[in-house]
Amino acid sequence: GVEAGGLGIETGKHASAMALGQVGVLHGMKTYLLQDEIGNIQLAHSISAGLDYPGVGPEHAYLRDSGRAKYVSVTDKECMDALMELCRMEGIIPAIESAHALAHVFKMAQGEYKGKTIIMCLSGRGDKDVNTVQKYLNGEETNK
């Protein structure tokens, strides 16, 4: 799976609960959460409104803990670079959420999967995100 790395894990402005979260309870579910040392939920950041959340579903927590899935994070910049590349190459405007996965697929295609077929599901529609893309390209704040 791919998490929203926001402005970078090291900045603290991200939504990478699988990478840096601790087990806690939010909205009645036990999962990995971005929280401080006494359990206060921390703010999350992602260019994608759909990924700007301080936790993950308990199914993802289970898959990670059981070793059945691995999770990586992708920064806002990597995500938007992938989104723009797909627009240029295929004329497809992906949802920003899906562009996070696309960015990781691009990395995979340059690494151990070079020359191999990789299948990815593009869910959602990017037309809902055109204002965010425009703000990003203009250098404006995108998640106010």
Query: At 124, which CATH number?
Result: 3.40.50.1100
Q: Is residue 23 in some structural domain?
A: yes
Q: Do residues 88 and 114 both lie within one domain?
A: yes
Residue recorded with tokens 């993802």: 60
Q: Is residue 108 in some structural domain?
A: yes
Q: For residue 37, how many other CB atoms are within 10 A of its CB?
A: 6
Q: Name the pTM for this structure.
A: 0.90
Q: How confident is the model at residue 120, as a pLDDT?
A: 94
Q: How confident is the model at residue 123, as a pLDDT?
A: 87
Cβ-based burial of 94 (10 A; exposed 0-12, middle 13-18, buried ≥19): buried
Q: Do residues 57 and 86 both lie within one domain?
A: no
What is the greatest pairwise CA distance in the chain?
A: 47
Evaluate if residue 143 carries a pLDDT over 80: no
Q: Do residues 55 and 87 both lie within one domain?
A: no
Angle at 117 (CA atoms; ends 6, 17), nearest 5 degrees: 25
Evaluate if residue 144 carries a pLDDT over 70: no
Q: Is residue 143 in some structural domain?
A: no
Q: How confident is the model at residue 142, as a pLDDT?
A: 78
Q: Is residue 83 in some structural domain?
A: yes
Q: Do residues 98 and 125 both lie within one domain?
A: yes
Total domains, the chain: 2
* Whole-number percent of the chain with pLDDT over 70: 99
Q: Do residues 54 and 16 both lie within one domain?
A: yes
Q: Do residues 44 and 82 both lie within one domain?
A: no
Domain that holds residue 120: 77-137
Give per-residue pLDDT as tens, 4-16: 999 999 999 999 9
Amino acid identity for residue 52 in this structure:
D
